[in-house]
Structure 1
């Protein structure tokens, strides 16, 4: 009796265990793909806020699908100097892990809104700070550093480092993308070097300091009265004497091209443009933000090409 009961209990236990193992195996087989899919889901993109779409585009180039970028200023017809930030900007800044601002007084609204947002942990990249540029003795800093290709190379490395701090697992990808971007910048620098070889020392005029890092890289000499370009940049009236001196540049071969900022156009800059056109001086139009459908290096390539074509006429 005892032997028979033990054998029966043992047999029953064996059957029960087999059923449990079979059920677990079957359940695991069905749950496996879902569980693996859940484990393989990538982390949420890194939230980034950039003051303009120029910097937003560079962040996207380096971060790819690992970033979610909001660019505050995106309209090429808008003057960034007079931009008034919105509550939406403050909301986006409150969530950002990385913030890219130009600095140098260009986009002060970013610092004000970031402080108001209560976000003290964001990694803030100040591009003027990255550039290392300072105002010349007795002069003013040209804060339009996105026209300076060496600065954009340093910015690429800084962005890669900031994204790596937020998502260390993707460090290699960020570094490789930054390297590719810097390769494109090297090609742009080679193009400006060729212009410098062919046209170095050529006098030009500008309506505002925006393109000066580019024209200087090409070896061109700016003949515009500083009082004119500074007044235009600051939204002030140009004195009649200064306007007269500027218009006189376009007669007698004093300059070979005019580089015209479309985003700060007004009656006085329009007179300058008309004077250039009337005297058959080529006009090269530039903007402060990315035109629709363009990426940074394509945009800058078009600017360099336009300058080359103007000087080769």
Structure 2
């Protein structure tokens, strides 16, 4: 988002103390209670840090065995908005040649730590690469990895950056990016199929996470904006707005609820219960890769789940 929220404040906690870790630690494997993952280290590899395992997976697919990737947020039970950065994260960033962040206010702790460590790493900001901006009078939907054209742009940028770091393998990175982008085409084709069959159908959401995907599929988000914004910001939902949202299900005004499993709370549980009671399918989504999934497999599952729900 273009402005800081109460849920983003936690990302900045401890930023000043993170500068004190210079010289400590010997491994790029961040052991923060399972909140980071890394590829096997190799001195000749390009060291890359990604804010989440979504971007870590994309880099890994393009860089293959030429990269050593650390993903700072990888736990599917962790809400990325409230992630608290650690000194080990700072250490990983200080060693990186390339950093991939989401941007748009989603993972500002990355920029804070890079500034603190005076890192010279090249930084890829996914929101900037995507070219997405906030619609007039609205906030930016920073979840650009749910937009397949944006993901393709990010893949190209990753390949170019890796090629700059390792010119001898630039052609390999370019070919890997092309192969990755080819896997996105069937996903866009599925979106087109949904649009043809269900264009104009109403859906509800708990947060804006899936809106690029649902929008490309021709679906109309009927959730009160005040509800989804409050949930994303970690603010209380007013009784009036909550009732308006629940009425979407009791009045059967939507055909599916797309539910962010990583940020559930009292209000979202009430919404999910209302959907279940009304017999309206619930499509769960997450902000990070589920265990055992790569990006394309994960997104394919999301699209298939949406098709299944709408076809009921």
TM-score of the two chains, using structure 2 as the length reference:
0.86
Matching of residue 87 in structure 1 with residue 90 in structure 2:
no
Query: Which residue does the alignment assign to 1:159?
Result: 158
Q: Distance in 2 between matches of 1:57 and 1:176?
A: 16
Q: Distance in 2 between matches of 1:43 and 1:161?
A: 21
Q: Which runs of 5+ in 2 are unaligned?
A: 1-41
Matching of residue 256 in structure 1 with residue 255 in structure 2:
yes
Q: Deviations over 1:129-186 (max 9, x none)?
A: 0011111111100000000000000000000000001100001110000000100111
Q: Please say which structure displays the higher CA radius of gyration.
A: 1
Matching of residue 57 in structure 1 with residue 49 in structure 2:
no
Query: Which residue does the alignment assign to 1:280?
Result: 279
Q: Distance in 2 between matches of 1:167 and 1:239?
A: 53
Q: Distance in 2 between matches of 1:292 and 1:98?
A: 24
SS at match of 2:192: helix
Query: Which residue does the alignment assign to 1:112?
Result: 112
After TM superposition, give the deviation of residue 251 of structure 1 in Å. Answer: 2.1
Q: Is the 8 A contact 2:55 2:100 kept in 1?
A: yes
Q: Distance in 2 between matches of 1:63 and 1:205?
A: 37
Q: Is the 8 A contact 2:127 2:142 kept in 1?
A: yes
Q: Distance in 1 between matches of 2:65 and 2:141?
A: 33
Q: Is the 8 A contact 2:159 2:170 kept in 1?
A: yes
- Displaced runs of 4+ in structure 1, greater than 6 A? none
Q: Distance in 2 between matches of 1:111 and 1:171?
A: 27
Judged with a 3 Å threshold, the aligned counterparts in structure 2 of structure 1 residues 306 and 70 are, in CA distance, closer, same or farther, namely same
Q: Which runs of 5+ in 1 are unaligned?
A: 1-41
Q: Is the 8 A contact 2:252 2:278 kept in 1?
A: no
Q: Matches of residues 92-241 of structure 1 in structure 2 within 5 Å?
A: 92-119=92-119, 121-241=120-240
Matching of residue 76 in structure 1 with residue 76 in structure 2:
yes
Aligned pairs, number? 271
After TM superposition, give the deviation of residue 198 of structure 1 in Å. Answer: 0.6
Query: Which residue does the alignment assign to 1:48?
Result: 48
Question: What is the root-mean-square deviation in Å for CA atoms of aligned residues?
Answer: 0.9
After TM superposition, give the deviation of residue 43 of structure 1 in Å. Answer: 6.6
TM-score of the two chains, using structure 1 as the length reference:
0.86
After TM superposition, give the deviation of residue 84 of structure 1 in Å. Answer: 1.1
Where relative contact order (Cα < 8 A, 6+ residues apart) is larger, the structure is 2
